[in-house]
Chain A
Amino acid sequence: MSADPRGTHVTQTRAGWLFVSPALGLIGVFFVVPVVVGLLLSFTDFDIYALGDPSVARIVGVRNYAQIVSDREFWGALRNTLTFVLGGGPLSVLASLGAALLVNARLVRFKSVLRVALFSPVVTTLVAVAIVWRYLYHPHYGLIDFALRGLGLPAVDWLGDPHWAMPAIILFSVWKNFGYNMLIFVAGLQNIPEEQYEAARIDGAGGWARFRHITVPGLGPTFLLVGVLTMIGQFQLFAEPYVMTAGGPLRSTVSLILLMYEQGFRWWRLGYAAAIAFILLAIVLVATLVQMRLQRLERR
Chain B
Amino acid sequence: MSRPARALVVNAAVAAVAIVTLVPLLWMVSASFMPPGAANTMPPPLVPRTPTLEHYVALFTRLNLLRNFLNSLLISGVTTIVSLFINALAGYAFAKLRFAGRDRVFQLLVVGLVVPAQVGMLPLFLMVRGLGLVNTPWGVMIAALASIFGIFMIRQYALGIPDELLDAARVDGAGEFQIFRRVVLPLLRPILVTLAAFSFLGTWNDFLWPLIVLSDERKFTLPVALASLVGEHVLDTELMMAGAGVTVVPVLILFLVLQRSYIRGVLMGSVKG
Interface residues of A toward B: which range?
A: 35 or more
A85 within 8 A of B: no
A3 within 8 A of B: yes
User: Is the beta-carbon distance between B86 and A274 smaller than 8 angstroms?
Assistant: no
Q: Which of B31, B41, B176, B254 contacts A11 (CB 8 A)?
A: B176
User: Is the beta-carbon distance between A129 and B24 smaller than 8 angstroms?
Assistant: yes
User: Is the beta-carbon distance between B127 and A23 smaller than 8 angstroms?
Assistant: no
Given A23-B146, A107-B7, A114-B18, A38 and B123 touching (CB < 8 A)? yes
User: Is the beta-carbon distance between B226 and A120 smaller than 8 angstroms?
Assistant: no
B78 within 8 A of A: no
Residues of A within 8 A of B207 (CB): 126-127, 238-239, 242
Q: In the complex, what's the smallest C-beta–C-beta distance from A158 to chain B, in angstroms?
A: 14
Who on chain A is nearest to B150 by CB? A23
Residue among B21, B23, B127 having the largest count of chain A Cβ atoms under 10 Å: B21
User: 1/0 per residue B250-263: CB within 8 Å of A?
Assistant: 01101110010011
User: Is the beta-carbon distance between A243 and B230 smaller than 8 angstroms?
Assistant: yes
Given A102-B10, A131-B230, A23 and B116 touching (CB < 8 A)? no
Residues of B within 8 A of A18 (CB): 176
User: Is the beta-carbon distance between A34 and B25 smaller than 8 angstroms?
Assistant: no
Q: Which of B22, B146, B177 contacts A27 (CB 8 A)?
A: B146
Residues of A within 8 A of B175 (CB): 1, 11
Q: Which of B11, B86, B254 contacts A108 (CB 8 A)?
A: B11
Q: How far is the CA of A12 from the CA of B241 in the complex (A)?
A: 54
Interface residues of B toward A: which range?
A: 35 or more
User: 1/0 per residue B9-48: CB within 8 Å of A?
Assistant: 0110110011001111101100100000001111110000
Given A125-B248, A129-B248, A143-B23, A38 and B99 touching (CB < 8 A)? no
User: Is the beta-carbon distance between B11 and A109 smaller than 8 angstroms?
Assistant: yes
Q: In the complex, what's the smallest C-beta–C-beta distance from B19 to chain A, in angstroms?
A: 9
Q: In the complex, what's the smallest C-beta–C-beta distance from A142 to chain B, in angstroms?
A: 8
Given A107-B11, A229-B270, A22 and B90 touching (CB < 8 A)? yes
Q: Which of A22, A105, A129, A187 contacts B244 (CB 8 A)?
A: A129
Chain A 224-274 interface residues, beta-carbon cutoff 8 Å to B: 224-226, 228-229, 232, 235-236, 238-239, 242-243, 257, 260-261, 264-265, 270, 273-274
B contact set with A: CB distance below 8 Å: 3, 6-7, 10-11, 13-14, 17-18, 21-25, 27-28, 31, 39-44, 86-87, 89-90, 92-94, 97-100, 102, 105, 109, 112, 114-127, 142-143, 145-146, 148, 151, 170-171, 173, 175-177, 180, 201, 204-205, 207-208, 212, 222-224, 226-227, 230, 237, 240-241, 243-245, 247-248, 251-252, 254-256, 259, 262-263, 266-267, 270-271, 273
